[in-house]
Amino acid sequence: MTRVLSVTSECVPLIKTGGLADVAGALPGALAGHGVAMRTLLPGYRAVLAAQGDAPVVMDLGDLFGGPARIRQGALGDAVLYVLDAPYLFDRDAGPYLGADGRDWPDNPQRFAALCRAAALIARDGIGDWRPQVLHLHDWQAGLTPVYLRQLEVGDVRTLLTIHNIAFQGLAPAHMLSALHLPAHLFTPHGFEYWGRISALKAGIVFADKVSTVSPTYAEELMTPEFGMGMQGVLASRASDFAGILNGIDLDVWTPPYPDPAGKAAFREALRAEFGLPGAEGPLCVAISRLSGQKGLDLLIEALPALLEQGGQLAVLGSGDPAIEAALRAAAARHPTGVALRVGYDEALAHRMIAGGDAILVPSRFEPCGLTQLYGLRFGTLPVVSLTGGLADTVINASTAALRAGVATGLQFHPVTARALSRALVRLCALYRQPELWQRMARNAMAQPVGWDASAASYAELFYEMTTAE
């Protein structure tokens, strides 16, 4: 068995702000059947420690960026969980990254440097008789780990950095080099210096043994100026060590309450009733998303008339940009029989929406992998997606050729504009008016392999190659 320590800032079911948590929570179980024994290292946020009860201390880290720290051992399902217990860094109200004022915690550089340093110490010393062969590092929060491994002269533990969203790069001012115990000689354009600042993400990209991201198309996109967000050059320099591995979803958690799409009717009517929408001739579309420009919700608002004019409806669950939220509220007020909004996030409601919706809309300007379109496929809720990132890799567009071949599972649109989205929504409604064709697409969608098995096998192969390479 290959021994891997997953180093992550969030993980379901303990702490979640986005898809990273779903991935980190699912991987240990998914990899267990592929010859990988994965344990997870997670910051000791208040909720995490509370959920672990009296988890025993298994490693004393001494002073770690401002106070005494230690590792506690708990459980993540059937897998081992290590919790970095450093109350001065993590025992706080509000979220893992932001305070109650919605701003980054000012000591985020130290908080996640501590996570990285703890991972490096576990790699050097092991815990009990267990020592990892590979550190699987997730996003910028784990990006400094390879630098600390160099400092500690740990040469026999390999590192894989997985980029879930390159928009977040872990920047800190240069004067923090000493405070973060970082070597000044690596603060260069060929190291972790980024426009005069420290970049934890760049540190991971440059110094990890391998780099991956969460879909093949996003891997290609990241090496372009349009999507690379300033990191395209350094990623291109690592092209031979850079791979795209699709995310999967937990099939036990995301199981449709019907065996085939014909069973959706009762759930559709229940969803309409819950959102206060009447029956309609067109499809009931759902959107479950952060209300942001990245997610294309502004484009959806602009394209709404195309859906409503065809008799379609829209139910939205999400929160985020106040301007987008206000525009959706206004649309719901203008079209009470066609648009409904719930602000916030409710996991159970998300399940009911995907079960009852006819289509799920994911008009993202960029999307590393995306999970909601995978949930839609699993439930026979046809995805309407922009042609980008993982959305391009997971949805088979209802082109003329795909429809003739009987393989279409949804709709893709390009370019990522309101006009193109409008055309896709008109096309969606036209397909909905052909019940036999629609049901065939929904059955195709439900038959797609959206679980973790294939992706877990790819990770396992990569870990094996890393630990057996000369």
Cβ–Cβ under 8 Å, residues 24 and 14: no
Beta bridge partners of 384: 361, 411
CB 384 within 8 A of CB 411: yes
Rounded to whole angstroms, the Cα distance separating 466 from 470 reads 9
**Length of the chain (residues):** 470
16 annotated among ligand-binding-site residues:
yes
CA distance 46 to 92: 6
Q: b or e along 155-173 (b: 16 or more beta carbons within 10 Å of the residue's beta carbon)?
A: eebbbbbbbbbbebbbbbe
- Residue pointed to by tokens 């980190």: 24
Q: CA–CA distance from 116 to each of 24, 132, 204, 212, 342 (Å)?
A: 16, 14, 11, 18, 38
Contacts of 310 (CB under 8 A, 6+ apart): 282, 425, 426, 429, 430
CB 317 within 8 A of CB 350: yes
> Tell me, what DSSP letter sits at residue 460?
H
- The annotated binding site for ADP-alpha-D-glucose is made up of 16
- The annotated binding site is made up of 16
